[in-house]
Amino acid sequence: MRRKYFYTHIVDTSTLSLKLGDMDLTPKERLHLISLINSNIHHEILDLVLSELNPIDKETFLASLASEDHAKIWKLLNAKVENIEEKIKKTAEDIIKELHKDIKEVAG
């Protein structure tokens, strides 16, 4: 089961999963790579968000993240960061594009 992150509704990694499905991988290898992809995207998005917040808002964000209170996260982010959804989308799209290039290189 795929974990639902606060940004899952705006970030789509299915194209990467499909590309990995075309490769000669065991199901375990494929799941491991998908897990690494999701982790990489998650860390980049957290880095983006944290770089946009002041120290007090960072604490509030991290507490909401730990409790998985997505509504509270979005309320904070929309109040404190201009165009946060677009910034998250762009960050994810850039990573996904780079990962597609990496997969293409490996797949030949």
Q: Residue 52 is part of which domain span?
A: 11-107
| Confidence at residue 4, expressed as pLDDT on a 0 to 100 scale | 86
Domain count, the chain: 1
Give the chain as a 3 state SS string.
CCCCCCCHHHCCCHHHHHHHHHCCCCHHHHHHHHHHHHHHHHHHHHHHHHHHCCHHHHHHHHHHHHCCCHHHHHHHHHHHCCCHHHHHHHHHHHHHHHHHHHHHHHHC
pLDDT tens track, the chain, 108 positions: 457 899 999 999 999 999 998 899 999 999 999 999 999 999 999 999 999 999 999 999 999 999 999 999 999 999 999 999 999 999 999 999 999 999 989 876
Is 59 within a domain? yes
Is 3 within a domain? no
| Confidence at residue 2, expressed as pLDDT on a 0 to 100 scale | 56
Is 54 within a domain? yes
Is 32 within a domain? yes
Is 5 within a domain? no
Is 36 within a domain? yes
Is 62 within a domain? yes
Is 4 within a domain? no
CA distance 71 to 21: 33
